Structure 1
Amino acid sequence: MSRFRKLSQSIWHCQYHIVWVPKYRYKVLQGAIAVEVENCIRAFSEQQKCEVIELNVQIDHVHLLVMVPPKVSISDYVGTLKGRTAIRVFNRFRKLKEKPYWGNRFWTRGYCVDTVGLDAEMIQKYVKYQQKKEQVAEQRDLFNR
């Protein structure tokens, strides 16, 4: 199978590594909230005909490796993901809205995006095993205290 995808008048391979964080980088992406965020990202990506290659929801940030068709603007795609997941999370977990610091935003305003070229496999492994590395580091820190 070719790494390229086809549209009616083009073939493409547009893969992106995207990272974004909750407002104030609060550690709220765990348990049911993390599951909801992951489900939303997958559902909204599918609606926009984007293919999630790897997704890792960490306690204070999200890593996403995704194929985005050239007809979809990356800023529109990320804006849709962040906006719609925020609405869903705030509607499902109303306790979060009780804190005055959230305002109407769940995510920070910005995000990090990088195009993936020949290093796709390396980046996919990095995204997949990021959580494992952080857990080992946290355990080491706890042991050294």
Structure 2
Amino acid sequence: MWTPKYRYKVLFGEVRIRVRDIIRQVCSEMGVNIVSGALSRDHVHLFVEIPPHISVSKFMQNAKGRSSRRIQQEFEHIRKRYWGQRFWARGYFSTTSGNITDDVITAYLERHTAPHGQASASRPDPTGIRR
């Protein structure tokens, strides 16, 4: 889980779609499997399977770095808002699914994006991050 700097609610519309596509591309290039994911207006949740030869920090460096650079290049209003060339806030939250099951994490992500905390009736996008 990670957030845009100052937790501004900028992940909507074309920016949201582009962030999703960039993250999918980074995952594909690194051999990371997206199990599930959710984009809120002010943060990103990903449930991924990272190969053992790639560290979590390396994956996050690539995902956040590449998406930050491309988003600022492609969207002038983002470049003006984040004038310090940093789109994402420092840090991220990461944990393993060892103590809880994958189903619990997936259910959390589905509830997280559903309105008013209701479980989503639709199935997640099999390619990963939902709109």
TM-score range, shorter chain: 0.7 to 0.9
What TM-score do the two structures reach when normalised by structure 1?
0.76
Count of residues in correspondence between the two structures? 116
Name the structure 1 match of 2:48.
Answer: 66
2:97 corresponding residue in structure 1 = 116
Rg (Cα) greater in structure? 1
Residues in 2 aligned to 1:79 and 1:26: alpha-carbon distance in whole angstroms = 20
1:97 alignment partner, one of 75, 79, 82:
79
Query: Per-residue deviation at 1:96?
Result: 1.4
Q: Name structure 2 gaps, 5 residues minimum.
A: 118-131
How far apart are the structure 1 equivalents of 2:17 and 2:101? 28
The structural deviation recorded for 1:32 is 0.8
- Pairs within 5 Å for 1:80-95: 80-95=62-77
TM-score for both structures, normalised by structure 2? 0.84
Q: Which runs of 5+ in 1 are unaligned?
A: 1-18, 138-145
Q: What corresponds to 1:136 in structure 2?
A: 116
Q: Distance in 2 between matches of 1:129 and 1:67?
A: 21
Cα distance per residue 1:5-37 (max 9 Å; x no partner): xxxxxxxxxxxxxx0000000000011111111
Q: Sequence identity of aligned pairs in percent?
A: 35
Which protein has the bigger strand share?
A: 1
1:26 to 8, 12, 15: 8
CA contact (8 A) 1:23 1:102 kept: no
